[in-house]
Amino acid sequence: MPKISQKGQAMPESPIRKLVPFAEAAKKRGNKVFHLNIGQPDIKTPQVALDAVKNNTIEVLSYARSEGSEEYREKLAAYYKKHNINVTAEDIIITTGGSEALLFTLGSITDAGDEIIIPEPFYANYNGFSTANNTKVVPVISSIDDGFALPPIEEFEKLISPKTKAILICNPGNPTGYLYSKDEINKLKALVLKHDLFLVADEVYREFVYDDNKHNSVMSLDGLDQHAIMIDSVSKRYSMCGARIGCVVSKNKTFTQAILKFAQARLSSPTYALLASEAALETPQSYFDEVIEEYVDRRNILIEELNKIPNLKVSEPKGAFYCIS
């Protein structure tokens, strides 16, 4: 019998998605299931995005451009500018979800055996993306005692080796809900410049920041043009997980040219999803205001009830929609 590759055998199962069959079986038995296992918002998708698909006049469902249409990327650049992220359409490559953006990024910046440092706890699929690229994840441990703040820079430096190519953060964090401060982002900036590394920031939860805190993007820092890489997605922002549209953003032209080659190899992202994603940029601010209010209410109820459990330590999230205890 032909053998599966070592990489195929090493590819980890999603610890989240493997719960789905159990949940579905419970439903068939007539049980009520509350899904806490996957980052799928139950917030309604903006109507403007749904209407773009329902009301289009496409007669030939053709390939889109591998990097995404210039019009969509121009609109994305304008959206980012509102968030103090000054980039152009040429700095943006559209991907099939944030997952593909991360896969392409690791494929472009690492070779087999190279390492990336990630604060732990981290999104479980980072392991899968790394395995798919024969890249080693080197965790640096954050603690619930300080709400999963950035570990001391000295702990990062202990882990840097000749194989280290990047530091990857999720901001706000999945699964911790931690929001990195401007000071913490600047410490990472100094570190990657000192060691000539990439700083990759998964910023898909950018809109979900609470308690008058502010999100600090790696793309807003001066002096990081050749080092900063931002991962983004429409999935959580517009409750459009099924659209599978994301992007990679960087001012490093050599890097974006490499990403484009990966994008060309898979031809294009799905055309209908691109239509919906472009239309979603017209979503009014009131939509986000209502979503944030809803998430804050849910967070407060959850934290209040969890704190009633004896001997349970809870970290109050500053962003995203996760809680860890």
| Domain 47-280 bears CATH identifier 3.50.50.60 | no
Q: How confident is the model at residue 34 (pLDDT cuts 50, 70, 90)?
A: confident
- How confident is the model at residue 14, as a pLDDT? 80
Tell me if residue 93 falls in helix, strand or coil: strand
SS (H, E, C) 185-238: HHHHHHHHHHHCCEEEEECCCCCCECCCCCCCCHHHCCCCCCCEEEEEECCCCC
Domain spans in the chain, listed from the N-terminal domain onward: 47-280
Spatial distance between the Cα atoms of 272 and 278, rounded to a whole number of angstroms: 10
Lowest mean pLDDT segment, chosen from 30-44, 60-74, 196-210, 229-243: 30-44
Q: Are 202 and 169 in contact (CB under 8 A)?
A: yes
Residues 35-47 have a mean pLDDT of 86
Does residue 21 register a pLDDT over 90? no
Does residue 38 register a pLDDT over 80? no
Q: What percent of the chain has pLDDT over 90?
A: 90
Does residue 289 register a pLDDT over 90? yes
Q: Which residues pair with 136 in a beta bridge?
A: 115
- How confident is the model at residue 17, as a pLDDT? 76
Nearest to 115 by CA among 143, 92, 101, 135: 135
- How confident is the model at residue 89, as a pLDDT? 98
Residues 189-193 have a mean pLDDT of 98
Does residue 20 register a pLDDT over 90? no
Does residue 37 register a pLDDT over 80? no
Residues 197-215 have pLDDT tens digits of 999 999 999 999 999 999 9
Question: Which residue in the block uniquely carries the two structure tokens 């005692």?
Answer: 145
- Predicted TM-score (pTM) of this structure: 0.95
Q: How confident is the model at residue 221 (pLDDT cuts 50, 70, 90)?
A: very high
Neighbours of 144 (CB within 10 A): 13
Residues 223-238 have a mean pLDDT of 97
Residues 130-157 have pLDDT tens digits of 999 999 999 999 999 999 999 999 999 9
Residues 87-115 have a mean pLDDT of 98
